[in-house]
Amino acid sequence: MKKIIIAVSALFISITLSAQDLITKVPSTASAVVSIKGKNVLQLMSLEEFSNSKFGSFLEKQLMDESKGELENLEDLGLDYNNTFHYFFEINDGVYTNCFLIPLKDGKAFTSLLRTSEIKRTVTDGNLSYIQNYRGDEVTMWNEDVLMFVISSDHKVKEESYSYYNDYSSEAVEEEDYYTSDAYKKEQEEREKKRLEKQEKREEREKEFSQVVLDKAKKILAGTYANKSILTNKSYLKSLGKGKEEASVWVNDFATIYEQAIPSYMLGNSFNPYNFMNIDKLYGGLTLMAKLNFNEDEAVIKTKYTMNDEMAEIYKPMYNGKINKSFAKYINEDNMLGYMSLNLSTEGVLKAYPNLVSSMFDTGSGETISESVALGTKVFSMLIDEEETAKIFRGDMFLALTNLTEKQVTYTDYEYDEDFNYKEIEKTKTETIPDFIFMFTSEEQEIFNRLVRIGVKEKQLEANNGVYQLIDLPKSTPFNIYVMYKDNMVFLGSSLKDLNAIQSGRFVSKLSGAHKKNITKNASSVFVNGKKIIAEIPAESFPRELRNKVDFLTSNTEDIKFNFQKIKGNSMKGELIWEIPSEGHKNSFVYFINIIDAMMD
Amino acid sequence: MIKKIVTYFSLFVCISLCTSCFEILEEIKLNKDGSGTIMVTLNMSKSKTKLASIMLLDSINGYKIPSEDEIDESFKDVIYHLEKTEGISNIKKTKDFDNYVFTISCDFKNVENVNAIFKELIKKQNKNNYTNFTTTNLSYNPSENVFNRHFTYDNAIKKSFNTLKSEDRKVFDDASYTCIYRFQDKVKSVSNIDAKIAPNKGAVFLKIDALSLILGEKNVENKIQLIN
């Protein structure tokens, strides 16, 4: 059944993709693919609108300068903006290939950008033209429909080059005149011979590699692969979805990437991690997908990690914590600049950690390291009482940046008399210092009380109505830190006023349902109140070039949110939302172009 | 651990928000025979909130932050270097980690001894980075009674500055370099248009903002003609 679904979806995708979609040129063995959908972007902002923006005009001016006036605008460049641009990365046996595929409408237009030396070096082979750099690791290739850049690097050569030093590894110098002896000269000659041999070998490999890169480029452009294109890769197909995003990133099986990047044979036999670590168990089936959508009122990046069944089983309990709903009682969103919640389960982490480490080293090879790790994790599990430890630190925590307060600080300056004799004087200035509060759940009040008693006795803490000030902070630390315990929670914060209010039950809380939902439903949630932060930061704290743009930034910055969901099935989903102001921008893509324009002023 | 995370987070915010700048003060008292005293002060007290935060971290913006002990060690190296330099005596230092003000002063037999302190360092810099900084920073001609503060601007300063991230460049926004020269003879004239002569004619004062110095718009070059 699964196979039928994949076959049907592959068919559907190949029909919906335009005949010229360059994705068919990406091999199924690609480790990562990044795509930018020109058509979707143009729906948000036409090429003409973009050309009229300051950023667009700037790019066009650069284009005109580079082409010596032959290309006046982006349209003249001959790119097919309505099509999809792709980048892919492939690792094969220590050879890294980066490839950019750019759709063309007019294959000749962009050649105005080439330098005379590049035009001279251009080779025409049938309907395709290409330039290869002197080292041979970069190829620019194009035909009527595609412009392609291939940048490769050969990581095998680097491995070999180090072995040259091995010739010098064990020298025993006993005689004083050793360096003038015939034996030494003979050894030197042999070493020189070996060096030349290796150099020759390296040069040969470079020549060979240069041909490999060129052949590879031709193969990509032709799109004829024995293993077929990426459209036969199940994980990639699954990541495609409805295709409404403006840009997407897909990263293939991490285990394959590691194994291809550093093949086992490159590491030799002694202490080869592949012998005692099970990379496949840890990273096998782990893929990453991210999609960027420019919506009308927000820009959203959605990410999805997918892992193998075994890893999902191990990780699930770690992220399956319960957030303490009482955290919300001590937050007032009117004063809140941002927060971060983390919803881990200490019990889950402690139970999962030994399994994770055991799996990692479980190669079945009987290697001493693997066996020792298995023994160690077993002992760890026996010694640690997960449930009792979780009573001290349950794993749910909340950090809020509550305010920016202005604090008067002194500094030394000089006062000069008319003869330029000077004396040191003390002046004051205002600094903006953040207030924060950090809370975590702990059922062990007894442990807290004992620690506090020791702290007070050792003069590390100063008691003040149930709130304790840390007094061992390094001098000049710009804020104080207070600590207290209440209702199964430990509080750490910089505002004595807030902590006193919490301790005496006078704290006024306010938190919207949307925030409460984000905090409780997700494994981790981050919120940044962009508008409030920019409004509260003193203008002089901005870089000089931004100081006159503070008003613009204040009226054009909204909230930024990041939520990381709990593991469902085999996946972990994340979502970054960048909200934009309701007025002044047609959509979030135009918003970012407008911001760039404003910053260019 | 938690205290560390929370402290680091707050420090990070402090570092982003607090302003930073510094002042370098170079004061030379020159006697008629060419001997004298030099004192260099680095005053970073205006940035002390930020520095106090930075000092608690191991590194920031990719730069390693030296600890108080490491700064102490560097101070010792400087003193050792001065002690080895011919004609230099009466070396004094002050360190104030509460306000971040550091001074080093010494007596010299003649200004050539002061040049010798930095000569090797500048030579090395010029060789390694193809720059063209002068190794003669000070000169005194007793027969003409002329004191010179030499300075050659090199584009490498601007280039290095431009490679800094905008956040790092902020450090120089309000920074300044002040030179004060005192003489036993009266000052007749100065060549640097930004320099001021004291009404009693016994001292010259020059304060330049660091950005103008970095960008080459102003410099500390000064020819001071004394009355014989």
- Reading chain B (228 residues) residue by residue, the pLDDT tens digits are 444 555 555 555 555 555 567 888 999 999 989 999 999 998 888 877 777 666 666 555 566 667 778 778 888 888 888 888 899 999 998 888 878 888 989 999 998 888 888 777 777 777 777 777 777 888 999 889 999 998 888 888 888 888 777 667 777 777 889 999 999 999 999 999 999 999 999 999 999 998 888 888 998 899 999 987
Residue A439's beta-bridge partner residues?
A: A398, A491
Q: Is residue A328 one of the residues assigned to a domain?
A: no
Give the pLDDT confidence of A414-452 residue by residue, as tens digits: 899 988 998 988 888 877 777 889 999 998 888 899 999
pLDDT at A170: 47
Residue A471 to residues A399, A484, A491, B155: CA-CA distances in angstroms? 22, 14, 16, 49
The reply to whether A138 and A44 lie within a common domain is: yes
What is residue A12's predicted lDDT score, i.e. its pLDDT?
A: 44
Is residue A410 within 8 A of residue A427, CB to CB? The reply is yes
**From the CA of B200, how many Å to the nearest CA of chain A?**
7
A24 within a domain of the structure (yes/no): yes
Interface check for B152 against chain A (CB to CB < 8 A): the answer is no
Task: Establish if A263 belongs to a structural domain.
Answer: yes
A201: which 2 tokens? 């070998």
Q: How confident is the model at residue A3 (pLDDT cuts 50, 70, 90)?
A: very low
Q: Which residues of chain A lie closer than 8 angstroms to B56, CB-CB? A: 474, 477
pLDDT value of residue A15: 41
Give the minimum alpha-carbon distance from A420 to chain B in angstroms, rounded to a whole number: 7
> What is the enclosing helix (H) or strand (E) of A125?
strand A123-125
Q: What is the mean pLDDT of chain A?
A: 83
Cβ pair A579, A298 in contact under 8 A: yes
Q: pLDDT digits over A350-359, tens only?
A: 888 877 777 7
Report the b/e string of A503-530 with b at 16+ CB within 10 A. beeebeeebeeebeebbbebbbbbbbbb
Q: Let me know if residue A238 belongs to a domain.
A: yes
Under the banding of pLDDT at 50, 70 and 90, the label for residue A498 is very high
Q: Would you state the pLDDT for residue A102?
A: 93
Chain B positions in Cβ-Cβ contact with residue A440 (cut-off 8 Å):
2
Considering the domain boundaries, does residue B177 fall inside one?
A: yes
> Is B36 inside a domain boundary?
yes
Task: Tell me whether B197 touches chain A (CB under 8 Å).
Answer: no
The answer to whether residues A357 and A242 belong to one domain is no
How far is residue A134's CA from residue A149's CA, in Å, rounded to a whole number? 15
Are A418 and B56 inside 8 Å of each other by CB?
no
| Nearest residue of B to residue A538, measured between CA atoms | B17
Residue B212 forms part of a structural domain: yes
Q: Does B201 touch chain A (CB under 8 A)?
A: no
pLDDT of residue A330: 93
How many residues make up chain B in this entry? 228
- Residues 6 or more apart in contact with residue A551 via CB below 8 angstroms: none
Six token digits for residue B199? 């009404």
Domain count, chain A: 2
Q: Is the pLDDT of residue A88 over 90?
A: yes
Q: Which long-range contacts (CB under 8 A, 24 or more apart) does B139-144 make?
A: B139/B111, B139/B115, B140/B30, B140/B34, B140/B110, B140/B111, B142/B32, B142/B33, B142/B34, B144/B225
Query: End of a domain among A390, A405, A421?
Result: A390
Residue ending a domain, among A390, A421, A444, is A390
| Domain contains B12 | no
**Residue A14, pLDDT above cutoff 50:** no
Residue A81 token pair: 């903006």
Is the pLDDT score of A4 beyond 60? no
Predicted confidence at residue B170, as pLDDT, reads 72
**Can you tell me the mean pLDDT for A302-324?**
87
Most confident of A160-174, A245-259, B26-40: B26-40
pLDDT for res A213? 93
pLDDT of residue A189: 87
Angle between helices A182-222 and A155-162 (to 10 degrees): 170
Q: What pLDDT was estimated at residue A17?
A: 47
- Average pLDDT of A334-359? 84
CA atoms within a 13 Å half-sphere pointing along the CA-CB vector of A425: 9
**Distances A523 to A202, A292, A343, A519, A574 between C-alpha atoms, Å:** 51, 22, 5, 8, 10
Nearest to A436 among B10, B48, B200 (CB): B10
Q: Is B55 within the bounds of a domain?
A: no
My answer on whether A267 and A351 are in the same domain is no
B56 touches chain A (CB under 8 A): yes
Q: Could you identify the residue written with the tokens 């001290």? A: A392
ipTM of the complex as predicted: 0.76
- Higher confidence at residue B146 or residue A557? B146
CA distance B90 to A319: 65
Single-letter residue type at B101: V
Residue A449 located in a structural domain: no
Q: Which of A360, A390, A420 is the last residue of a domain?
A: A390
State the pLDDT at residue A161.
47
| Count of structural domains, chain B | 1
Q: Using CA atoms of A102, A108, A114, A116 in order, give the dihedral in degrees to the nearest 10.
A: 160
pLDDT confidence of residue A482: 92
The pTM of the full predicted model, rounded to 2 decimals, is 0.68
Question: Do A258 and A283 touch, CB atoms closer than 8 A?
Answer: yes
Q: Is residue A107 part of a domain?
A: yes
> Are B198 and A399 within 8 A, CB to CB?
no
Q: What is the structure's pLDDT at A319?
A: 86
User: Which of the pair, A385 or A126, is modelled with greater confidence?
Assistant: A126
Does a structural domain hold residue A169?
Answer: no
Q: Among positive and negative, which fits the CA dihedral B121, B126, B128, B131?
A: positive
Domain assignment of residue A112, yes or no: yes
What does the alpha-carbon distance between residue B53 and residue A477 come to, in Å, rounded to a whole number?
6
- On the question of pLDDT at A388 being above 90, the answer is no
Going by C-alpha positions, the residue among A203, A197, A201, A204 that lies closest to residue A167 is A197
Looking from the CA of A537 toward its CB, the CA atoms found within 13 Å total 25
Render pLDDT for A257-270 as a digit per residue (tens, 0 to 9).
777 666 666 666 55
Cβ atoms of residues A492 and A470 within 8 Å: no
A17 with A119, same domain: the answer is yes
**By CA distance, what is A546's nearest residue in B?**
B166
| 8 Å CB contact between A414 and A424 | yes
3-state helix vs strand vs coil in chain B, percent to 5: 35, 30, 30
Residue-number span of the structural domain to which B146 is assigned? 21-45+67-226
In this structure, the answer to whether residues A137 and A243 fall within a common structural domain is yes
Question: Same domain, yes or no, for A14 and A152?
Answer: yes
Say if B3 falls within a structural domain. Answer: no
CA B66/CA B59 separation, integer angstroms? 8
Q: Are A423 and A439 in contact (CB under 8 A)?
A: no
As to burial, measured by CB atoms within 10 angstroms (0-12 exposed, 13-18 middle, 19+ buried), residue B87 is middle
Query: Where in the sequence is the domain holding A353, given as residue range(s)?
Result: 347-390
Give yes or no for residue A484 having a pLDDT over 80.
Answer: yes
Cβ contact (<8 Å) for A543 and B169?
Answer: yes
What pLDDT score does B132 carry? 75
Q: At what angle do helices A54-66 and A588-600 cross, to 10 degrees?
A: 70
pLDDT at A282 over 60: yes
Are A370 and A263 in the same domain?
no
Q: Are residues A155 and A30 in the same domain?
A: yes
Q: Is the C-alpha dihedral spanning A518, A519, A525, A528 positive or negative?
A: positive
Q: Quick one: pLDDT at residue A10?
A: 45
